[in-house]
Amino acid sequence: MDKVSCRSCGTCVLVEKFSDQHTSVQWNKDAQTACTELETTGLRSHTCRELRASIDEAVASGALTVSTRDVDVRTRGRTVD
């Protein structure tokens, strides 16, 4: 998972992108508290529009790649000691 920061409020979450339609976002308590949209919608919405746009921008710029799952997802093919 890679860190992505929201362009609106600056909150940082961990993101794994599996396809155009499938995105996994891992929220922590600090991110939940910092997100201005979650303050009003709650975590039931799972994301906010600004964070979604930030993730899409990260994919478009190449900062976040789409995982093919042909390697170990936990390590993304990296060697772990």
Model pLDDT, residue 58:
95
CB atoms within 10 A of CB 7: 13
Residue 7 contacts by C-beta under 8 Å, 6 or more apart in sequence? 50, 53, 54, 57
Whole-structure pTM value? 0.72
Q: How far from the centroid of its chain's Cα atoms is residue 18's Cα? A: 11
In this predicted structure, what is the pLDDT of residue 46? 61
- Give residue 9's identity as a one-letter amino acid code: C
What are the residue boundaries of the structural domains of the chain, listed by start?
2-61
The per-residue pLDDT string of the chain (81 residues; one tens digit each, 9 = 90 and over) reads 899 999 988 889 999 998 888 898 998 888 888 887 776 665 555 668 889 999 999 999 999 988 876 655 566 656 555
The pLDDT, as a whole number, for residue 13 is 92
67 Rama class: left (phi>0) / alpha (psi -120 to 50) / beta = beta
What is the predicted pLDDT for the residue at 15? 93
